[in-house]
A and B are shown apart, each in its own frame.
Chain A
Amino acid sequence: MRLLNLFKIAFKAIVLNKMRTLLTMLGIIIGVASVIAMLAIGEGSKESIRATISNMGSNMITVKPGADVRGGVRRNASEMETLTFKDYEAIKAQTTLTSYISPIVNGSGQVINGSNNWPSTIFGVNPDYLNIKVVDLQSGSMFTNAEVQSAAKVALIGQTVVDNVFPDGEAPVGKMIRFNNIPFKVIGVLEEKGENTFGQDQDDVVVAPYTTVQKRILAIDHLNEVMASAISEEDAPNAVLEITEILRTQHKLADAEDDDFHVRSMEELISTFSSTSEMLTILLVAVASISLLIGGIGIMNIMYVSVKERTKEIGLRMAVGGKGADILMQFLIEAILISITGGILGVILGLGSTVFIEKFLNWPTSVALYSIIISFAVCAVTGIFFGWYPARKASALDPITALRYE
């Protein structure tokens, strides 16, 4: 009953000062809206990275030469020759947690078909590769183990390569192309995958037997990478440990020595990239929170002015029986009403700008319910926190002094 009356009083004060209230709210509105929009952008890019990576094969495990240098000085992995075919064989022989495994060598060069010329990357792999990467074929077929044994000059090409070296729309399967002047017979076209989140064109590839690429193109006998596929996503972390053990034994590393290779599952890759985007999200949210804080200070400022301006009114309210607690509540409710209304408008504006960002800027966004709840709660707390001190000050006034105030 009494609270309801105080509510009415506070509401009245807000209505009587519409313009001022609106300007005060603006800080809160912008703060809340930017927190929601920033979180939506951060959350959206995290989700899109996750989607891309699992599209690349979520069970995938990669083994690369050289120590894990995440965050440290990055050496050029292709210059390191510590990963050999023997390592691949050892893993293949001893692993229990992987289903597919392929050696990988890669290099770049020109794809040539007649007068058409296109720079691309060639991947030397074995037939397991398509299963590891979860890629199907549009046409043709994969090469066989026999063709790997014989280092046959056969290749599969991605759609981007098709578009550029077969511009006339002829079917590539069965045609001859050259990669760095080595002739290859096209035996298949890979299914289109498009760009990944990192902007790489996944269709700009040539895939051939690793033996052929090793001998005829790169003239090397080590491997650039070994790719495997864990039997399930849950087994991926254990498969990583298993492969690490196999390779440590294979490389005869003493306990004190660091790995001279690194094994990573997609899960780790996801967490690496997520943590980058998380950093970004934290940064964005920090900036947004500062504007929310400034909004809060705006409320405090306006409540101070309000208390000062209405000192006589406070004195009168006390003279006719208003208690300290009544005055405190009146101003506190006023501050909370301002911040909550600002919060509601901010949520609406935040959702609106999220839709705008998604539609017109084409950025992936995802509004999490928690971001709305959090920014709203922060808002209410801001109102209480920044409204408290001026309200407290008003309630502690001496009625006579307040009445005499001019």
Chain B
Amino acid sequence: MRKEIIKIEDLKREFTMGSETVHALRSISFDIKEGEFVTIMGSSGSGKSTLLNILGCLDQPTSGTYEIDGVKVKGLSRNELATIRNEKIGFIFQSYNLLPRTSAIENVELPLLYNSKVSTIERRERAIKALKMVGLGDRMNHTPSQLSGGQQQRVAIARSLVNNPVMILADEATGNLDTRTSYEIMSLFQELNKQGITITFVTHEPDIATFSNRTIVLKDGHIMQDYNNYNIQSAAEQLAKLPKEDH
């Protein structure tokens, strides 16, 4: 039996705005096992980001239980949550969120700066390794403004890998990219997944979901569907099939 990385049960998240209460998540329960590649789908406002924020310990549920890698998250302090984010989670955002005017390698090092167990030398080595994994070994000293969108997202992926997280969480990580670049990024995710990294990927593009082994569909804060995908597409193959751009 594979280890459960995520276990949530009867998770609810409500936002109170004045007299109104928005039920962003209403009783969500599911597990994610080690090595899974899960896509979370759903229309806009269905609660995908809210769910991902809770999974990433950036937000706390209103009720219900949540365990990540065997740690119960409920009732943890701000600092304890920060430590979990630092040691167990890698985040990737739609808008990359790289530090401007800061080199790729320094951006990748960022999470390790907040981990006092990692020495300066080890930090640098791990950052170089992560950048090489995403194919940017030759771009380490470039700043975000010198990189394309796809390259910036690769830097962000390297940053999410550098702390050896138990899980990578991505919120519309391909949302700002064209199809070709999206597929490149997806094939990178598939590679990482093959190496055993658990990935949870929020998207609303159905073709992206075909690259994962499981899809959870949300609607109005409920789980509509939760199914395994037995016909996983290879992003690399899809990329090769795309019509060549003519210049």
Interface string of A27-40 (1 = CB under 8 A from B): 00000000000000
Pair B116/A322 contact, Cβ less than 8 Å: no
Interface string of B123-163 (1 = CB under 8 A from A): 00000000000000000000000000000000000010001
Interface size on B, residues (CB 8 A): 26
The interface residues of chain A lying within 8 Å CB-to-CB of B231 are none
Tell me the residues in window 287-322 of chain A with beta carbons closer than 8 Å to chain B beta carbons: 312-313, 315-322
The interface residues of chain A lying within 8 Å CB-to-CB of B71 are none
Pair B99/A322 contact, Cβ less than 8 Å: no
Pair B91/A320 contact, Cβ less than 8 Å: yes
The 8 Å CB contact of A321, one of B53, B59, B85, B99, is: B85
Q: How far is the CB of B112 from chain A (nearest CB, A)?
A: 9
CB of A19 within 8 A of chain B? no
Pair B56/A321 contact, Cβ less than 8 Å: no
CB of B114 within 8 A of chain A? yes
The interface residues of chain B lying within 8 Å CB-to-CB of A403 are 58, 93, 97
Pair A320/B56 contact, Cβ less than 8 Å: no
Known interface pairs A400-B53, A403-B93; A319-B113 also in contact (CB < 8 Å): no
CB of A9 within 8 A of chain B? yes
Pair B97/A321 contact, Cβ less than 8 Å: no
Pair A323/B82 contact, Cβ less than 8 Å: yes
Complex Cα distance, B102 from A316, in Å, reads 14
CB of A242 within 8 A of chain B? no
Pair A320/B58 contact, Cβ less than 8 Å: no
Q: Which residue of A lies closest to B87 (CB)?
A: A321
Q: How far is the CB of B95 from chain A (nearest CB, A)?
A: 9
Interface size on A, residues (CB 8 A): 24
CB of B64 within 8 A of chain A? no
Q: Which residue of B lies closest to A12 (CB)?
A: B102
Pair B53/A317 contact, Cβ less than 8 Å: no
Q: How far is the CB of A17 from chain B (nearest CB, A)?
A: 10
Tell me the residues in window 52-110 of chain B with beta carbons closer than 8 Å to chain A beta carbons: 53, 56, 58-59, 78-79, 82-83, 85-87, 91, 93, 97, 99, 101-102, 110
Tell me the residues in window 157-174 of chain B with beta carbons closer than 8 Å to chain A beta carbons: 159, 163
Complex Cα distance, B109 from A8, in Å, reads 13
CB of B111 within 8 A of chain A? yes
9 sampled A-B residue pairs with Cβ under 8 A: A12-B102, A316-B99, A317-B114, A318-B82, A320-B110, A321-B87, A321-B163, A324-B79, A400-B59
A312-B97, A315-B97, A317-B110 given; name 14 further pairs at CB < 8 Å.
A2-B116, A319-B85, A320-B86, A320-B114, A321-B85, A321-B86, A321-B111, A321-B114, A321-B163, A322-B114, A324-B78, A326-B114, A400-B53, A403-B58
Closest 4 CB pairs of A and B: A321-B86, A320-B111, A321-B114, A323-B82
Give me the interface of A with B, judged by CB distance under 8 Å.
1-2, 5, 8-9, 12, 16, 312-313, 315-326, 399-400, 403
